[in-house]
Every structure is written in structure tokens, then in C-alpha cells.
Structure 1
Amino acid sequence: MHRMWNMATLLAVLAFFCGFQDTARAVSEDERNNIELYQRLSPGVVNITSTVLERDFFFNIIPRQGTGSGSIISDKGYILTNHHVIEDARKLEVTLANGEKYTAEFIGSDPDTDLAVIKIDAPRDELVVIPMGASRDLKVGQKVLAIGNPFGLGQTLTTGVISSVGRTLRSPGGALVEDVIQTDASINPGNSGGPLIDSSGRMIGINTAIFSPTGANVGIGFAIPVDTAKRVVNDLIEKGYYAYPWIGATLMTLLPDFAEALKLPVKRGAMVVEVVPGGPADQAGIRGGTARAQIGNHILIVGGDIIVALEGNPVQDADSLIRELRSRRPGERVALEVVHWDGGRERVTVILGERPGGYRYR
């Protein structure tokens, strides 16, 4: 009897520990996906330390360090990050996931999209490349993962979903960045420049900003869409800056109230305020304003052409026309329909130039 009790006790203990181990091994499919992606991709996410020179209260020059994140995008050592992570840096140091540190070389930067590329000279077998996906067909509710170095704490993973798409964010350069991704995955200072990854393990965005009254994450983070990065990254590597198309004209939205007050033949479009002499618009024969007119509290430059269509599609305002032109490349031809101030219409072809003053580091 005593022997049987011992055997029963032993079986119960074995059953308990087997059940405990089964419970410990019970990982959901979603958790397995998170674990696998982190283990595979986190070595491709780096910590970036930037040293900026500043003046203290007594005007002494002192160094100040900041941290951010970046994604290895090539086995040649190219790293994609945010412009604001490396802006004005006099020294850049990259720490890989294995702890190895390298001095980084600045390659190119674009304040308008808040993107930059730096480079390290590291052995290829130490470089894990983060593959780029696509951001044009993202859906609200998709799972996303953010890997980065918040507050300098390396190799941190947070998860969440896409909260919204098509947001507009103003970059440090002052330009509006279109199609920005909003997510509730925790993004904090130090995450900037790190990748936002989908469940298949592809980068769909570059974490760049948070909305927070406290400075810490409150569930509203933003990422530059990877399609924007794919558009500019080659120029950053080859030229050091992104070559934006340039029409060589200052534009202003024509509102129906203005059109009625000025007795214009069209109600909407983009008014040409000024053309740069010798610029693309000037060479195409587009005319700028010649006089001033006051409508209510508004002072308008009038007398110039009004752009009413681009490639046959109606132009409703100056902003939409500028956004469409920004998606083109220098040297590309665009067909515009313009209405002259006297009411005549004309179709003109503009060969876009390259915007002067491309951003160059230092």
C-alpha cells in the first residue's frame, strides 16, 4: 500500500511538471511571429550616437550627444535613418547589435522627408540587411513591429497596429510629408530612424515622431512611408541630396471668391504669382503677375496665368499641383493648361528643372 502510494504520488508529480512545461511552451502563433521577426531582424537595427557642438552659458563650445536608431539597407554598410538624428553632427558612431562600434560617414540627407543615409566600414558577415517592403496598400489594423533604441536602451521591440494611413506631417525642413503612417506601437525618443516592420518581416516605414504632451509615448506615433524612402535613397547615396523637380514659379490657390471679385473666367486653379527668369515656367511661356489687387484683407499679385489642368486633370488648388509636381523627376515633361488673364487658353509643355540649392551636409 505504501509502495502504491509512492507510485501514485510520483505519477502526480510527473504529471504536474509535464503540465507546467506544456504551459511554459504554450506560445501563440502571433507570439511566435514576433519572436521570429525580432530574432531575424534586430541585428539589422543599429544604435546611432551623434555628437553636436554647442555653446554653453559662457559661450564655451561643449559637445552634446544624442541617440537614435537606423536600419542597415545594404551589405555595403549603408544605413537609413532620420535627418534629425544626424543633423549638425560632428561625429557619428554606430553600435551594432553584437556590440561592435564603428565611426560612421555621412552620405546624404533630405530635410524635406526627414531621411538620411550614413555608412560604416564593417565586415559583410556582420551586416544584416532589413528588406524594404511597400507602403502604398497598407490597411488600418495591420500588425506592425518597431525595433529601436528608445532612451538609449538598445534592441527594444514594441508591437501594435496601423492606426491610420495618409497622414500629413511637417518635416524639420518645413515641408509637408504625405502618406505618413500612424501607429500605436510604442515609439519614444531614441526610436527615431528605426524600422516599422510588417508581419512578413519587411520595412514599411521609418519611425520619426510622436505626438505627446509629456514627451513620452501616448500611443500616437508616426513613420515616414517606405515608398518615400525608396524614392529618395538612391539620390542620397549618389548625390548626397535628393534632386527635387522645379517649375520655377511661385503659385497661389485661386479661390472662388477671389475669382468672382476679379471677374475671372475660371473659379479654381493655381495662380502664377511670379516666374523665375530663365526657369522652366519662363521658358515655356508661362506669365507671372503684373499688378497688386486688394480683396478684403488679402493682397493678391494678379495678371499672371492660371494653371487649371495638369496632364488633362483639373487643378483645384496650388497645393495639389505642387504635390503632383514633387512626385516627378527633373527633366520630365509635363503638360499644363493655362488660362491667361485676358481669358485665352493655352496648352504648354514644361520641362521640369532641378530645384536649386539641394541640401548638402555642413
Structure 2
Amino acid sequence: MTPAVTAPAPGGRHAPVSPGTAQVFGRPSGVAGSFAPAGRRTDSPQPQVAAPDPVLAEAFGRPEGSDESLQRDPLATFGETDEPEPPADPWRDPESMASLSRPAMSAETVAPTTPGPKLGVRDVLFGRRIAWHALATLVVIALLIGVVGGLMGRFTAEVAAPLNSDTVELSTADKNDDTTARSSVARVAQAVERSVVAIDVRTSSAYATGSGFVIDREGYILTNNHVISMAANDRNVKLEVVFFDRNRVTARIAGRDPRTDLAVLKVDNVANLTVANLGNSDDLQIGEEVIAFGSPLGLDRTVTSGIVSALNRAVPLRPDSESDTDAVIDAIQTDAAINPGNSGGPLVDNDAKVVGINTAGLVPGGGSIGLGFAIPIDQAVPIAQALIKDGKVNHPQIGVNASSVRNDRVLGAQIRNVVDGGPGAKAGLRENDVITSFGGRPIESADELTVAVRTAKIGEPVKFTYWRDGRTFDGTITPASD
């Protein structure tokens, strides 16, 4: 029940206190002041302090005989060691009595030592813990183990196969004395090799090697002009032909033609010459097997084989420091390896007939990449005959100079100038005309026109096609001698 609260009386006096509040917060009976007198007992109930729990009293009470108001912290000496009190020092205690002590130094008596008995194997190894008869037994066992191990090693060594032997004899197939060719290439090589020669051109400071082949029993040899150009321009050059049997013979130049890169040499007083069998290059087929003979890099009697890769390739041959050849050949392309030194050697078909003269090869890295070129034998024979007969050759020409043209309107050989009164002028050709066909052969460059004219015959009319101002015309032209 909540006691009623009376508002304070006017005039600053407190309102009367309720009996309940006075009983709780008022002074005990008989007390008028602020504090009750000491020892005065009142009739009102007072709080009583109960006896502590025995366990708590033992844990937190004062030790027996202690009259201190506060107990010492039991952890105050944690970690300290209990050390015995040092003995009394008479020098530090002024009240101590005089007494005698130990002398400053005391001499210790050392007993003399005598040498002991010498140690044996048994003492060192076993510390006298093994008897002599046991030690002897161990020695015998160790010897037996060594003997058995040696015997086993000897046995295994004898069982393993030896690395060397003086009883082994290697057997080979019986020697075949039959010299019959065992492949088509070998058959062709045997038939042609004796007609092929190596050509050496030497000066006091230079050396060149080429190839050639015998075309007549009187000692005529066909080769390339660029092989012997150095000898033709310097009389001090030594020119030799080396035959299959390594016989060296001095050669002379019977005739040469820088415009077709062909030359004929002549050797005298050579008996039993083997003449090459000439074939027909016009009958060649693309893909037909061919064999190249020569002396690449001075390696004479070298044979390589391949196929005919293409026909009628216009390949220009320009003069350089070692050759005055300035020609465009109508070449047979082959993948048979043709390297420097193969020049002038024969290109032979499977019937052992010469179908071309190895002349050039594209060797950008210094070796064959399967792009070799040979002069067709059908074009070489009339030139060789003319060189043997007269020492020179007359070539057909049409009296024009041309350059290659390739644009969106026309493709061919564009006329740059026309010689007055020449075959071209008579045929009605003008400057800037573009020849696109000659003798039925497509013309796509000036080199192809040069080859087409060189393969024509002097005095025989040839049909051709040319382009002028967007129109195409046909005409006839008669090549003349140069």
C-alpha cells in the first residue's frame, strides 16, 4: 500500500509525516539527537552479524597469533628463493669476538701416478667385455664372410658378358663382282659418265671450275660461255679439261657466244673419246625424270637426279666481274641439284641422252634449292655447229628495244624504240606498242620476247600480236641477222 504524500504546509513548514514513513526513517524511541548514545540499547530490532562460514574464515581469516589489522599479501614473495642466512662475519659485526680461521692458502697433496697396463684390441673395441675365445670366433666369422663374398663376386663377374673380345668376326655380304646397274640412275650414270669432263680455269690469283661433255670424236667439247670467259679474255689463263680417268689435257676455245651462253672447246691428241648421245629436248614432258652431271664446287663426277619441273622458262643471265655473258635462255627448269661447278654439264633423260646443258641455279643460301635451269639441246646444237664451223654465231633480231609492262590494261613487252629500216619498222611497229604474242608464244615480259626472237629463224616470217591504244592487232615480222 503506497503511503499518502501530504503537500508542504504554507509558511515554509513541512507537512506532517505519515506514521509509516516515520517508522521506517524516524529516530528510534528515546533518541532525540542525531546519534544514539554509545551502548544504549533500544527496543527496536538491530541487525545481527552471523558467524563466518568456517571455510571462508580459514581462507580469509588472520593467522593464529597475528594481531595485524591487515593480512600480508601471500603472493608478495612469489618467485623469491629461500636462501639460508649467511654465516656471521666478525669483520662486519663490531660486537663479535676474536677467533682463528683457515690460512690464506692451503697446499693440496697430490698422490704420485704410475703408468697403468697397456690397452689391447679387446680393451679398445669391447672394453674387456668379451672373452678371448669369443673374439677369436668373431675373427673367424669375418674371414669366412670375406671369402664367400669374394667367391660370389668372381662368379657374377664370369657370368656377365665381357665388353671386349678377340673372337668376334663381323660378316658381310659376299662381294658382288657383277657391275650391272642396279637402278635406272646407275644405268644412266654408267652410260654417260665417261663423256663428261671437268673444266679448270686457273690464273696466278684466281681459279674457276665448270663442266662440259664431248660432242665429237675429234675432241670438241660443249660447255657454257661463262665457264671459260676468264680464259677467253686473258691469254695467260691456263685452261684444262679433266677426263673421267683423271687425265688432264690443255684445251683451246673453238668458239663462244655470250648471247646464248654457249662455248665449244677443242682438245687434241686424245684417243678413245666417249661421245655423248644427244637427245631431243622438244619431246620433254613436265615430270619426266632427268639426271644432272657435273663438278659442283670442284667435286668432279657428281650425279644428281630429279624431274623436269617446267619448260620454256625465260631466264636472264647478266655479265659480272668473271663473265661477259649477256643472254636470256629459254630454259628447262629442273629440281635436280645444280650448284656452281655444274655449269656446262649435261642434263640427261632416262635413255641416257643429253636433253640440256646445265647453266644456272637459284642459290640464295649458297646451295641448291631445287630451282635449276638448263639450255635445251635442240637450241644448243645449231649454235655449237656454227661455232665449230665459223667460230661465231649470227642471231635473229627484229630491230626493236623493249621493256616489260604490267598494268590493268595490258601485259607484255612494250616497244621503247624502233630501228629505222629494221624488221620491226617494216612490220609497222611504233614506240609504246606492246607485243603480247610472238610465233604463237605468249609474251608477258621483255625477256620472253628476247627468247622468242632468238628461237626464230633468220629470214622466215613470224606472226605476232601487239596492243596499241586499247586495241589489239595482228602482224607478221621477218627476223633478220644481227
TM-score of the two chains, using structure 1 as the length reference: 0.68
Aligned partner of 2:230 in structure 1 is 88
Structure having greater relative contact order (Cα 8 Å, sep ≥ 6): 1
1:121 equivalent to 2:268? Answer yes
What do the CA deviations read for 1:204-244 (whole angstroms, capped 9, x no partner)? 22222333333234444333222232242222222333322
Find 1:281's aligned residue among 424, 431, 434.
424
Deviation, 1:306, is: 6.5
Aligned partner of 1:77 in structure 2 is 219
Matches within 5 A, 1:267-278: 272-278=415-421
Deviation, 1:285, is: 6.3
What do the CA deviations read for 1:154-208 (whole angstroms, capped 9, x no partner)? 323x232215122442224443322322123x43332221112222111122222
Deviation, 1:106, is: 0.7
1:334 equivalent to 2:439? Answer no
Deviation, 1:107, is: 1.8
- Matched-pair contact (CA < 8 Å) for 2:397–2:479: yes
Q: Percent identity at matched positions?
A: 34
Give the strand-richer structure, 1 or 2. 1
Find 1:164's aligned residue among 309, 312, 327.
309
Aligned with 1:329: secondary structure?
A: coil
Aligned partner of 1:214 in structure 2 is 365
> Residues 208, 285 of structure 1: CA spacing in aligned structure 2 closer, same or farther, 3 A cutoff?
closer
> Residues 351, 164 of structure 1: CA spacing in aligned structure 2 closer, same or farther, 3 A cutoff?
closer
Aligned with 2:216: secondary structure?
A: coil
Deviation, 1:81, is: 1.0
> Residues 309, 76 of structure 1: CA spacing in aligned structure 2 closer, same or farther, 3 A cutoff?
same
Distance 1:113 1:122 in 2: 29
Distance 1:43 1:152 in 2: 17
Deviation, 1:50, is: 1.1
> What is the alpha-carbon root mean square deviation over aligned residues?
3.7
1:101 equivalent to 2:253? Answer no
- Matched-pair contact (CA < 8 Å) for 2:465–2:472: no
Unaligned 5+ runs, structure 1: 1-16, 53-61, 259-266, 290-301, 356-362
Amino acid at match of 1:128: T
> Residues 217, 324 of structure 1: CA spacing in aligned structure 2 closer, same or farther, 3 A cutoff?
closer
Distance 2:413 2:299 in 1: 49
> Residues 87, 346 of structure 1: CA spacing in aligned structure 2 closer, same or farther, 3 A cutoff?
closer
Unaligned 5+ runs, structure 2: 1-170, 232-236, 319-324
Matches within 5 A, 1:126-145: 126-145=272-291
Highest Rg: 1 or 2?
Answer: 2
1:202 equivalent to 2:353? Answer yes
1:182 equivalent to 2:329? Answer no
What do the CA deviations read for 1:53-83 (whole angstroms, capped 9, x no partner)? xxxxxxxxx4412111110011111101111
Distance 1:86 1:114 in 2: 10
> Residues 65, 247 of structure 1: CA spacing in aligned structure 2 closer, same or farther, 3 A cutoff?
same
- Matched-pair contact (CA < 8 Å) for 2:314–2:451: no
What do the CA deviations read for 1:303-326 (whole angstroms, capped 9, x no partner)? xx6767767x69766645544332
Matches within 5 A, 1:25-40: 25=176, 31-40=182-191
- Matched-pair contact (CA < 8 Å) for 2:331–2:374: no
> Residues 96, 306 of structure 1: CA spacing in aligned structure 2 closer, same or farther, 3 A cutoff?
closer
Amino acid at match of 1:145: I
1:353 equivalent to 2:480? Answer yes
> Residues 148, 338 of structure 1: CA spacing in aligned structure 2 closer, same or farther, 3 A cutoff?
closer
Size of the alignment, in residue pairs? 300
> Residues 337, 108 of structure 1: CA spacing in aligned structure 2 closer, same or farther, 3 A cutoff?
same
Distance 2:443 2:190 in 1: 49
Distance 1:111 1:318 in 2: 21
Aligned with 2:193: secondary structure?
A: helix
Aligned partner of 1:263 in structure 2 is none
Amino acid at match of 2:294: G
- Matched-pair contact (CA < 8 Å) for 1:42–1:155: yes
Aligned with 1:145: secondary structure?
A: strand
Distance 1:218 1:257 in 2: 33
Amino acid at match of 2:297: F
- Matched-pair contact (CA < 8 Å) for 2:289–2:308: no
- Matched-pair contact (CA < 8 Å) for 1:338–1:346: yes
- Matched-pair contact (CA < 8 Å) for 1:102–1:122: no
- Matched-pair contact (CA < 8 Å) for 1:308–1:339: yes
Distance 2:266 2:317 in 1: 23
Aligned with 2:352: secondary structure?
A: coil
Find 2:398's aligned residue among 230, 242, 247.
247
Amino acid at match of 1:80: L
